[in-house]
């Protein structure tokens, strides 16, 4: 059996090639197959925290962003049951924060919002938490609104792995989980975060945003006005194609 | 007089008025309505919950106050936010200034069309006490299809203007600190020009219809009518101005109170009284005091106050309007509708002018200045003068906000009009559906939209209670959300 045939798995009946070290997510995105996700970015090590990329692998639920692809694997991704589970996860993320899309500067560019549409979410379903976490506007160029944070850890990883800094961390457990800032005062303004850092731009929701700006892109020209979340994430993958190896 | 000597009638709430409303009539022992209280029993608290939010969000938060005139709140807040980034109203680019004016004309046009055709024309065309099931916009479309369809199309056109600039007909995204996020394309401009001649003609027809209704119904002239002072914005030459100008206040006889007043000093001009039976405050002109300082705002005020209107058809209509009062001010409360249609005609004409102005397709959209901690934006919203006032902390988060919405300015006037109507139509100690209808017509002349001031949406059940001098309920009448009338208390 040649190498190509050895390195294939099946996603929803479609044979998908992969190379050694790739996850199911890597293989799927490379093949143009969208698996919903929030905490995954190809250029960063996978985190496996949002669980939106949960797929059925040979009858077991696995996170596609962390589970290695293997020969002959049978993966179910786009099924009504998984869509329902993912929708519930997105609903829980919405009600755990204050995601007021109409006023949020990220609206139209927000991956959480886009996933809500993608998954057919019509309401929050669960009682909202209405958290009251601190808004940190101490930075001259950026603002941190913790009530919108979905604890995906993208800013944490971007700061550590790409920016070569260590600005953010997640602290607390369960409902007390929140993002903290590594600075003497705990304030963003005292950290070494720069507005050009990847960590300043990677937030999939409106938790980290440029300060004193907002709604500058007209309706109709925003990311998800022009592209579906699937198109957007597959395009992102092609720009940042990579493999994840355990160090 | 102490309340314990008065009978109390409560009407709760008001239909075809967006938001909660409840009326209590306090009667003396001679069955005269001594005081009317339009209760605002709902509280949405925008001024409170925007505290701590970044100022850039404010125009987007506050436009959610209302689904009928969101653009007015959006623009008033935007004018305040401009100042927070160091930009005064005169300093924005010509493209931004004209786009905002165009946006606002679209807003006022669609809101005025809604107010008259959808919400008030049923009362005026069918009579205040006609069959409730038929007295609505569907009934108008059935019996007066030409009038009804023009109304629907007028509103639609105003919304198309808004959508072209803000991306959506309701709750769009247009302003950024110091400017706008887009201009109009030539394609969008030409698309709006296609129907503008019809829109102007239909607006003229609406003015003529209202003039005819008012002149042919002398019994309406005194209905809920008050002789009051007026407050509104005017341009530098005293012309009607809806977007930016100075404040003018005049007594009922037309004599001056203030003129070309800089609205950023509005706290010197106005004070707000709080009364313990309503969440809606009672503003008054400080110089005239609490008792005599109340005033009216909105179309009637603006058409009375303006020396002229810059567009020819609306100016001709204004002159006929003023001629009705022999050159003096028109105080008839139901003439609000007539004045409203004159403004709608002005908006239609002004929209046409702006659509021919190449500046609306410009690319110079945003200016910035030196940041400030306080911003005050004032605009003439469809229902009247609208004040937005914000203070921010050193990090740009809202510390304090004060909104005086148009309906709030008309608060005392609405109470007085309700009292007038109640005294005219209350028969004995019986609350009738006719009384209830007449009271609602009086409120609707000012405002179909209590939501900005009362902060609730949708129709609510209606309840009327009659209390005797001892405070006992002796009669009551209820109105369900679908308009069904029923007795709830014997």
pLDDT in tens, B95-140: 999 999 999 999 999 999 999 998 889 889 998 888 878 888 889 9
**Strand-pair category, A54-57 with B33-39:** unpaired
Q: Judge residue B176's burial from the number of C-beta atoms within 10 Å of its C-beta, 0-12 exposed, 13-18 middle, 19 or more buried.
A: buried
Least confident of A226-240, B92-106, B214-228: A226-240
The string of pLDDT tens digits covering residues B240-260 is 999 999 999 999 999 999 999
Q: Using 50, 70 and 90 to split pLDDT, how confident is the model at B264?
A: very high
Q: Which residues pair with B241 in a beta bridge?
A: none
Residue A198 lies in a domain: yes
Q: What is the mean pLDDT of chain B?
A: 88
Tell me: pLDDT of B36 over 90. no
For residues A32 and A151, state if they share a domain: no
Segments forming the whole domain that contains residue A33: 8-78
Cβ atoms of B351 and B106 closer than 8 Å:
yes
Q: Which chain A residues contact residue B182 at CB under 8 A?
A: 218
Residue A49 resides in a domain: yes
Identify the H or E element spanning A134: none
Query: A175-208: per-residue pLDDT in tens?
Result: 889 999 999 999 999 999 999 999 999 999 999 9
> Is residue A238 in some structural domain?
no
* Disruptive mutation site among A106, A128, A133, A216 for chain B (greatest number of B CBs within 10 Å): A216
Q: What is the rounded average pLDDT of the residues A95-120? A: 95
Mutation target for A interface from B54, B59, B84, B183: give the one with most A CBs within 10 A: B54
Q: Find the helix or strand (DSSP H, E) in which B442 lies.
A: helix B433-446
Domain count, chain A: 2
pLDDT at B31 over 50: yes
Instruction: Based on the fold, state whether residues A64 and A153 are members of the same structural domain.
Output: no
Question: Same structural domain for residues A185 and A217?
Answer: yes
In the predicted structure, residue A26 carries a pLDDT above the cut 60: yes
**CATH number, residue A205:** 3.30.70.20
pLDDT average, residue stretch B298-314: 98
| pLDDT band of B184, cuts 50, 70, 90 | very high
**Alpha-carbon gap, residue B413 to B224, rounded angstroms:** 9
Between B63 and B11, the higher pLDDT residue: B63
How many Å apart are CA B456 and CA A102, to the nearest integer?
18
Q: Would you state the pLDDT for residue B4? A: 57
Closest residue in B to A142 (Cα) is B395
DSSP E strand stretches across chain A: 8-11, 14-17, 54-57, 60-63, 74-76, 135-136, 142-145, 168-171, 178-181, 208-210
Using pLDDT thresholds of 50, 70 and 90, give the confidence band for residue A139: very high
Let me know whether A17 and A39 are in one domain: yes
Shared domain check, A124 and A71: no
Whether A44 and A121 share a structural domain: no
Confirm whether A121 is domain-assigned: yes
A103–B64 C-beta distance less than 8 A:
yes
Residues A136, A203 within the same domain: yes
Least confident of A83-92, B8-17, B124-133: B8-17
Assembly ipTM: 0.90
Tell me whether residues B395 and A137 touch, CB distance under 8 A. Answer: yes
Confidence of residue B335 (pLDDT cuts 50, 70, 90): very high
Is B173 within 8 Å of A218 when comparing Cβ atoms? yes
| Residue numbers in A near B172 (CB within 8 A) | 219
For residues B22-26, average pLDDT: 77
State percent of chain B over pLDDT 90: 67
Nearest CA distance, B172 vs chain A (angstrom): 8
Tell me: pLDDT of A244 over 90: no
Residue A241 lies in a domain: no
Q: Both A69 and A107 in a single domain?
A: no
Assess whether A108 and A161 both reside in one domain. yes
pLDDT of residue B444: 85
Does position B66 have pLDDT exceeding 90, yes or no? no
Q: Report if residue A235 sits inside a domain.
A: no
Closest CA to B398 of B63, B67, B59: B59
CA–CA gap between residue A202 and residue A211 (Å, rounded): 15
Residues A93 and A34 both lie in one domain: no
- Asked if A33 and A155 sit in the same domain, the reply is no
Confidence at residue B451, expressed as pLDDT on a 0 to 100 scale = 42
**CB A213 to CB B176 under 8 A?**
yes
Q: Closest CB to A219: pick one of B52, B54, B172.
A: B172
A179 occurs within a structural domain? yes
Mean of pLDDT values over B81-104: 97
> Do A158 and A179 fall within a single domain?
yes
Model confidence at B466, pLDDT cuts 50, 70, 90, reads low
Q: What is the pTM of this model?
A: 0.91
For residue A247, tell me if it sits in a domain. Answer: no
Q: Which residue from A105, A216, A218 is facing B57, i.e. has the nearest CB?
A: A105
Decide which of A58, A78, A98 is a domain's last residue. A78
């Amino acid at each position: 059996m040649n190498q190509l045939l050895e390195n294939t798995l099946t996603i929803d009946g479609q044979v998908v090639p992969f190379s050694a070290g790739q996850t199911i997510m890597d293989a799927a995105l490379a093949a143009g197959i969208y698996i919903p996700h929030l905490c995954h970015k190809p250029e960063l090590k996978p985190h496996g925290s949002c669980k939106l990329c949960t797929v059925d692998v040979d009858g077991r639920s696995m996170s596609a962003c962390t589970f290695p692809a293997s020969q002959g694997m049978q993966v179910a991704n786009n099924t009504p049951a998984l869509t329902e589970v993912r929708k519930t996860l997105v609903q829980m993320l919405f009600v755990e924060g204050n995601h007021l899309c109409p006023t949020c500067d990220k609206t139209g560019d927000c991956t959480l919002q886009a996933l809500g549409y993608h998954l057919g979410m019509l309401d929050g379903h669960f009682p909202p938490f209405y958290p009251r976490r601190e808004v940190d506007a101490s930075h001259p160029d950026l603002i941190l609104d913790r009530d919108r944070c979905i604890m995906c850890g993208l800013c944490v990883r971007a700061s550590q792995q790409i920016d070569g800094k260590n600005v953010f961390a997640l602290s607390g457990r369960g409902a007390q989980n929140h993002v903290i800032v590594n600075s003497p005062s705990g304030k963003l303004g005292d950290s070494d975060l720069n507005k050009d850092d990847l960590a300043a731009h990677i937030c999939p929701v409106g938790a980290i945003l440029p300060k004193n700006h907002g709604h500058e892109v007209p309706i109709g020209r925003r990311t998800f006005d022009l592209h579906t979340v699937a198109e957007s994430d597959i395009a992102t993958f092609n720009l940042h194609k990579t493999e994840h190896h355990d160090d | 007089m102490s309340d314990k000597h008065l009978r109390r009638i409560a009407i709760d709430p008001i239909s075809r008025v967006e938001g909660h409303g409840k009326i209590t009539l306090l009667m003396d022992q001679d069955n005269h309505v001594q005081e009317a209280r339009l209760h605002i029993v709902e509280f949405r608290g925008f001024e409170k919950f925007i505290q701590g939010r970044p100022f850039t969000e404010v125009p987007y938060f506050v436009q959610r106050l209302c689904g009928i005139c969101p653009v007015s709140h959006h623009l008033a807040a935007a004018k305040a936010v401009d100042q927070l980034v160091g930009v005064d109203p005169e300093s924005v680019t010509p493209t931004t200034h004209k786009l905002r004016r165009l946006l606002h004309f679209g807003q006022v046009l669609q809101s005025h069309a809604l107010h008259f055709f959808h919400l008030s024309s049923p009362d005026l065309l069918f009579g205040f006490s006609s069959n409730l099931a038929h007295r609505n916009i569907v009934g108008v479309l059935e019996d007066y299809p030409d009038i009804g369809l023009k109304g629907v199309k007028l509103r639609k056109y105003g919304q198309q203007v808004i959508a072209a600039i803000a991306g959506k007909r309701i709750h769009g995204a247009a302003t950024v600190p110091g400017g706008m996020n887009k201009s109009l394309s030539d394609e969008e401009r030409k698309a709006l020009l296609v129907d503008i001649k019809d829109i102007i003609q239909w607006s003229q027809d609406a003015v003529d219809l209202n003039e005819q209704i008012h002149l042919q119904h002398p019994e309406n002239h005194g209905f809920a009518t008050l002789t009051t002072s007026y407050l509104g914005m005017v341009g530098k030459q005293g012309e009607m101005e809806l977007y930016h100008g100075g404040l003018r206040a005049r007594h009922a006889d037309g004599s001056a109170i203030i003129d070309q007043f800089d609205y950023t000093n509005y706290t010197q001009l106005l004070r707000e009284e709080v009364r313990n039976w309503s969440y809606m405050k009672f503003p008054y002109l400080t110089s005239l005091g609490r008792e005599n300082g109340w005033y009216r705002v909105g179309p009637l005020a603006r058409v009375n106050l303006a020396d002229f209107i810059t567009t020819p058809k609306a100016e001709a209509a204004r002159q006929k309007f003023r001629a009705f009062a022999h050159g003096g001010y028109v105080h008839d409360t139901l003439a609000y509708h007539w004045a409203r249609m004159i403004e709608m005609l002005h908006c239609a004409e002004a929209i046409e002018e702006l659509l021919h102005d190449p500046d609306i397709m410009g690319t110079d959209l945003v200016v910035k200045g030196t940041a400030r901690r306080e911003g005050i934006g004032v605009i003439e919203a469809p229902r009247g003068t609208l004040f937005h006032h914000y203070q921010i902390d050193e990090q740009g988060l809202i510390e304090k906000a004060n909104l005086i919405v148009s309906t709030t300015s008309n608060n005392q006037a609405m109470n007085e009009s309700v009292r007038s109507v109640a005294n005219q139509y209350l028969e004995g100690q019986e609350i009738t559906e006719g009384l209830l209808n007449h009271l609602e017509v009086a409120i609707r002349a000012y405002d179909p939209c209590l939501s900005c001031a009362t902060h609730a949406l949708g129709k609510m059940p209606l309840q009327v209670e009659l209390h005797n001098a001892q405070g006992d309920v002796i009669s009551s009448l209820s109105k369900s959300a679908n308009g069904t009338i029923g007795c709830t208390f014997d």
